[in-house]
Amino acid sequence: MTSSPERTRLAQSDNDIFVALKGEEARQRAELELIPSENYAFPEVLTLLGSAFTNKYSEGYPGRRYYGGQEFTDRIENLARERAKALFRAEHANVQPLSGSPMNQAVYLGLLEPGDTILAMDLSHGGHLTHGAPVSHMGRIFNFVRYKTDPSTGAIDFEALRDVARATKPKLVVCGYSSYPRDYDYADFRRVADEVGALTMADVSHIGGLIAADVMRNPLDAGFDVMTTTTHKSMRGPRGGLILCKEKFAKKIDASVFPGLQGGPHMNQVAATATTLRLAAMPAFQDYARQVLANAKALAAALNVRQVKLVTGGTDNHLLVIDTVQSFGLDGAKAEAALDRVGLTVNKQVIPDDPNPPMRPSGVRLGTPAPTTRGMGHAEMEEIAAIIAETLAAGGDAAAETKLAARTHTLTSRFPVPGL
Ligand code: DSN
């Protein structure tokens, strides 16, 4: 919603929601988004999400729909599929998953049988809810077994991973993370999977944009069977998911998404995904992705200089995890709240084998996709690190926090949010 007649109409018809919308826009401008899974969508994405495509039902796939009137929806879905295949060097693409959870569920349910064993990363070591958390439906349907990181290096312990694989004979090996600050060689997973006859799936939701820009490794290049990614994180697209796979799994994956799991795809989202994939193929996006990585390294270095303890000591990707208990004697919930008060938005985060519960864990997680979208660079990462360290050391002192909040606002006022 960008044009003012539409905004005026909304203000008149539902002022409560209009006021909340204006509040959220003001919050996003004034504060700095440091949650690594969040970003500011391309303005084109915001336009398409609010477009006429939202009105259309398109159950099925291009050329084989259950409803008429599909000339333009077929066109956008075909474009999205072709662009996704080209960008990620994939044999097949499904662009309909409504978001990350149904995307991963569609893969499990399409390629496996209930009760099958899946080897995936332990949640506290960086895995995701959809990688079999006991509270998730997938955790009840499938038998998830775990690998972890090595406490001495912070990297994945491949010896232990191989032992678990040999002992449990998984049907699927899943890699991918939402709080692991390192990269890895996908061939290592592939070798283990091949040894035990398992399929391979990489959930690269956090780094999909960085893989699209070729600044991080692409698991499909290492022969992975399936790769999933959300489109709204480092890619700056709409909320949604992509499944990329070998041609031999195409039928099973497509049938699993629809009619297996979902009904009508959100065609406004598919249109926005198509545009995102075009923008992500541009040289400017490669520059952006390189800067995301450079900013993460700069932020980590500036925190290290201030004696802030980072899980694994630093980062190879776009995210960092601060051990706030060791660094400041603060649990992650208190650290998140303190940083909120000075205008920095982060999220509390469990650290490997965290002795504390998820709502009061031992750390916070930060990422650089969103500040980089605003155009911030090395100098701003230094200032953000200083604000973080000084805020968490201030012990809730209101006068200190007021000054720190003013520093955040100086920063954000210099770097507008694209599209707002
Ligand atoms: N909620 C996302 C994240 O923050 O990593 C993943 O679904």
Q: Three-class SS string for 140-184?
A: HHCEEEEECECCCCCCECHHHHHHHHHHHCCCEEEEECCCCCCCC
What pLDDT digit, counting tens, does each position of 19-54 carry?
Answer: 999 999 999 999 999 999 999 999 999 999 999 999
Question: Phi and psi at residue 257, in whole multiples of 5°?
Answer: -70, -55
Q: DSSP assignment of 36-55, as one string?
A: TT-----HHHHHHHTSGGGG
pTM of the model as a whole: 0.96
The ligand 1 atom at the shortest distance from the C-alpha of residue 129 is 7
What pLDDT digit, counting tens, does each position of 163-213 carry?
Answer: 999 999 999 999 999 999 999 899 999 999 999 999 999 999 999 999 999
Going from the Cα of 122 to the center of ligand 1, the distance in angstroms, rounded, reads 15
Give me the pLDDT at residue 373, please: 98
Using most ligand atoms within 8 A of CB, pick from 37, 177, 203 the residue to mutate for ligand 1: 37
What pLDDT digit, counting tens, does each position of 276-293 carry?
Answer: 999 999 999 999 999 999
Instruction: Give yes or no for a contact between 147 and 280, defined as CB atoms under 8 angstroms apart.
Output: no
The ligand 1 atom at the shortest distance from the C-alpha of residue 205 is 6
Query: Helix, strand or coil for residue 322?
Result: strand
Higher pLDDT, 133 or 401: 401
Please report where in the chains the tokens 């990297």 appear, as a residue. Answer: 155
Pocket of ligand 1 (CB under 6 A): 37, 100, 128, 178
Please report where in the chains the tokens 């899980």 appear, as a residue. Answer: 311
Cα–Cα distance for residue pair 137/148, rounded to 1 Å: 22
Give me the pLDDT at residue 2, please: 52
Residue nearest to atom 1 of ligand 1 (CA): 37
Report the Cα 278 to chain-centroid distance in Å.
19
CA triplet 156, 218, 164: central angle to 5 degrees? 30
Short-list 169, 222, 220, CA closest to 193: 169
Amino acid at position 243, single letter: I
Residue 226 β-bridge partners: 201, 245
Q: Is pLDDT of 3 > 70?
A: no
Residue nearest to atom 7 of ligand 1 (CA): 100
Residue 356's pLDDT band (cuts 50, 70, 90) = very high
The structural domains of the chain, ordered by start, are 49-280 (3.40.640.10), 285-412 (3.90.1150.10)
Going from the Cα of 35 to the center of ligand 1, the distance in angstroms, rounded, reads 9
Residue % of the chain over a pLDDT of 90: 92
Question: Phi and psi at residue 363, in whole multiples of 5°?
Answer: -150, 180
Residue nearest to atom 4 of ligand 1 (CA): 37
Going from the Cα of 262 to the center of ligand 1, the distance in angstroms, rounded, reads 21
The ligand 1 atom at the shortest distance from the C-alpha of residue 179 is 5
Active site residues: 57, 59, 203, 230, 233, 239
Give me the pLDDT at residue 154, please: 84
Paired sense of beta strands 117-121 and 319-323, if any: unpaired
Q: What is the dihedral of CA 98, 37, 101, 205, to 10 degrees?
A: 90
Give me the pLDDT at residue 4, please: 84
Q: Is pLDDT of 120 > 80?
A: yes
The ligand 1 atom at the shortest distance from the C-alpha of residue 365 is 4
Q: What average pLDDT does this structure show over 229-245?
A: 98
Cα–Cα distance for residue pair 144/384, rounded to 1 Å: 39
Evaluated on CA atoms 276, 279, 284, 289, the torsion sign reads positive
Going from the Cα of 37 to the center of ligand 1, the distance in angstroms, rounded, reads 6
User: In this structure, what token pair is assigned to residue 120?
Assistant: 């995936």
Using most ligand atoms within 8 A of CB, pick from 131, 203, 233, 320 the residue to mutate for ligand 1: 233
Query: Helix, strand or coil for residue 229?
Result: strand
Q: DSSP assignment of 100-146, as one string?
A: HHHHHHHHHHHHS-TT-EEEEE-GGGT--GGGT-TTSHHHHHSEEEE
Q: What average pLDDT does this structure show over 141-161?
A: 91
Going from the Cα of 105 to the center of ligand 1, the distance in angstroms, rounded, reads 15
Short-list 87, 104, 103, 50, CA closest to 271: 50
Question: Which phi-psi region, left, alpha or beta, contains residue 90 (left: φ > 0; alpha: ψ -120 to 50)?
Answer: beta
Question: What value does the mean pLDDT of the chain take?
Answer: 96
Q: What average pLDDT does this structure show over 352-370?
A: 96
Give me the pLDDT at residue 379, please: 98
Going from the Cα of 204 to the center of ligand 1, the distance in angstroms, rounded, reads 11
